[in-house]
Amino acid sequence: MPKKAKNKRGRRTKKKSWWAKLQISKKGKIFLSIGCLGILLIYGYFFYNFAVSPFTLKWKALYGNINGPEGYSIRGIDISHHQGKIDWEKLSKATINEETVDFVFIKATEGTSLLDENFNDNFYQAREYGFLRGAYHFFSPGISAKQQAEYFLKQVHLEEGDLPPVLDIETLGNLSTEEIRKAAKTWLEIVEKKYKTKPIIYTYYKFKEQHLNTPEFNKYPYWIAHYYVEKLTYKGEWKFWQYTDVGRLDGIREKVDFNIYNGSMYELKQFTIQGDKTIEE
């Protein structure tokens, strides 16, 4: 076995470990400190953004402290029978982040046989109290898209000054991505032919990215649902953003969805159905 090297006094020398060298080196200490700090900062960033922040935003919303997106002044809601009977007088004076409620989307139909029980009253009252109003159809996968479009047109009669019709499409059901695209396109084309304006597509951010991400759908105006985030991460063009589903307003007993419009009031009014666009039966 080879002998260990001796120093000048005859003592055997021991090789210093990398840790020992690091301990006696000032540069090593600085390097170690910076490395640990960097790891902590990276961990803290991801922990806050992916664990703390979403729950903080949701907690604030649940307790009535909904900080709506900054930089948008046109606010609105969407309603159905789930909100119960609405006190429209109180609602007309309600505010979201000190801004009045300007527009209301109202659930009209679902599938080929379901008319929302409060639709007719809500639709009438919305105009009576000066709101820009719109109507949406909740799409049922697996049922004929053509028949769903025809049912919506039979039950809903949009007028000049109303917002374009809305297709609410959120789930595949038992359909494939290709089949849901075909069905959505059928509904959109039938309704567009009637009103001579492109319908709005309402969907969730992830559903849009995964299933409606082909070029033929990019020509439609989008209403994106994306909750508990400080800004919308969808990179495409959009008209409306539904940013929470737990809003509270005077005149509505239940929780209600809050939305913002991506533009000015002038642009929103220009976006409505114009008198010469509809086709009479």
Residues with a known catalytic role: 78, 170
Alpha carbons 122 and 78: distance in angstroms, whole number: 11
- DSSP symbols for 181-203: HHHHHHHHHHHHHHHSSPPEEEE
In sequence order, which ranges of the chain are alpha helices (DSSP H)?
18-24, 26-47, 53-62, 88-91, 119-128, 145-155, 177-195, 205-211, 265-271
DSSP β-ladder status, 240-249 and 252-261 = antiparallel
Interatomic CA distance for residues 227 and 24, integer angstroms: 52
Q: Hunting for tokens 């800004």 — which residue is that? A: 231
